[in-house]
């Protein structure tokens, strides 16, 4: 049995898939299996996947599944002690698996290891490092959840950490399914952040994260509700963490609504956070402008920076 199960969920991912598989083949740590779950692709993903050696186990869905549902099916098929994820448009540095396995083997309190990453923007041709100042360190639940902004392809999870959860990925989510699962794992396990960038994350027009903005606030809200179900006292035990997630819920909703001229609703959502986060103050100020002007300014604020 392989120590690491690598999960690749693929829906029409042929364009970059060969590069992704090549980065796996070049890993210095080779004790792995690949669970390749073809989620109703209509391109050449199957043919590309099957060029890998017999460590790749190919499965396909008869119908299109949500991303969470497809990942859950792949998780059920995995046999490894550790679970690593990689999207079929990302790339791993050669020591990624080796270093994460070593961390997990050396500290049994760690349920997840994730790393810094490089962003390669195919729209601008530029590359940068996501976290330029971070340090490698062990994270508690509030440290992980309150500052979550990471890349799925950088994560490796101890399979034991999934035991006892009432579900894995939320099958109805389109954006925050990773945050929701990892926050529940972090509630019971320590996490380790590695500041070395060991993943190359592509930014391109076909990315799902560029297409589901209207869902982001809704899903952060559901994730917060699920944490409250996990611990009825979470608001008193971790008040700052709860407030951060609530702010993410309301700010991402406001950011979406202002693009449609719903400025009054933006002000209602962000009023409670005026003294909490500068972004709430900025967007509340923008919301008093004529809608055409506030929309233009927001577009300029969030134009591609790399």
Return the SS3 of 7.
Answer: strand
> Per residue in 127-177, pLDDT tens?
999 999 889 999 999 999 877 778 999 999 999 999 879 899 999 998 889
pLDDT higher than 70, residue 306:
no
- At residue 12, the pLDDT reads 96
Minimal CA–CA distance to 273: which of 251, 306, 299? 251
Q: What angle do CA 303, 17, 59 make, to 5 degrees?
A: 125
The pairing of strands 82-85 and 156-158 is: antiparallel
Minimal CA–CA distance to 89: which of 196, 184, 15? 15
Phi, psi dihedral angles at 50 (to 5 degrees) = -75, 0
- At residue 212, the pLDDT reads 76
Beta bridge partners of 136: none
Looking at residues 16-31, what average pLDDT do you find?
A: 98
Chain centroid to CA 11: 17
Q: Euclidean distance between the first and final Cα of the chain, in Å?
A: 42
pLDDT higher than 90, residue 217:
yes
Which residue do the tokens 């669970």 mark?
35
Helices marked H in 26-129: 45-49, 67-77, 96-106
Q: In the structure encoding, which two tokens stand for residue 209, read together?
A: 């994260």
Mean pLDDT in the chain? Answer: 94
- At residue 44, the pLDDT reads 98
Q: How far is CA 57 from CA 37, 71, 88, 111, in A?
A: 8, 14, 15, 25
Cα torsion 212, 214, 218, 219 to 10°: value is 10
Q: In the structure encoding, which two tokens stand for residue 82, read together?
A: 């550790």
- Cα separation, 114 vs 32, whole angstroms: 18
Confidence at 96, pLDDT banded by 50, 70, 90: very high
- At residue 209, the pLDDT reads 55
């Amino acid at each position: 049995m392989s120590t690491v199960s690598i999960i690749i969920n693929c829906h029409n991912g042929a364009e970059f898939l060969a590069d992704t598989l090549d980065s796996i083949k070049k890993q210095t740590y080779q004790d792995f299996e690949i669970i390749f779950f073809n989620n109703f692709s209509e391109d050449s993903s199957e043919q590309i996947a099957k060029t890998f050696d017999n460590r790749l186990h190919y499965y396909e869905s008869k119908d299109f599944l949500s991303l969470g549902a497809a990942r859950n099916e792949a998780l059920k098929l995995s046999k490894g002690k550790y679970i690593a994820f990689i999207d079929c448009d990302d790339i791993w540095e050669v020591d990624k698996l080796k270093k994460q396995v070593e961390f997990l083997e050396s500290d049994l309190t760690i349920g997840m290891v994730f790393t810094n990453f490089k962003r390669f923007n195919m729209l601008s041709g530029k590359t940068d490092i996501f976290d330029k100042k971070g340090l490698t360190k062990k994270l508690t639940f509030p440290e992980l959840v309150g500052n979550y902004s990471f890349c799925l392809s950088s994560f490796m999870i101890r399979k034991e950490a999934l035991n006892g959860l009432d579900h894995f990925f939320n099958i109805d989510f389109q954006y925050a399914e990773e945050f929701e699962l990892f926050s529940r794992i972090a509630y019971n396990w320590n996490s380790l952040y590695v500041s070395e960038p060991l993943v190359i994350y592509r930014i391109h027009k076909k990315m799902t994260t560029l297409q589901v903005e209207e869902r982001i606030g809704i899903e952060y809200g559901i994730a917060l509700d699920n944490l409250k179900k996990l611990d009825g006292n979470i608001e008193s035990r971790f008040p700052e963490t709860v407030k951060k997630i609530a702010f993410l819920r309301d700010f991402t909703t406001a950011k979406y609504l202002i693009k449609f001229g719903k400025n009054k609703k933006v002000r209602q959502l962000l009023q409670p956070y005026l003294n909490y986060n500068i972004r709430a103050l900025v967007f509340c100020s923008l919301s008093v402008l004529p809608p055409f002007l506030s929309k233009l300014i927001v577009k300029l604020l969030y134009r591609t920076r790399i």
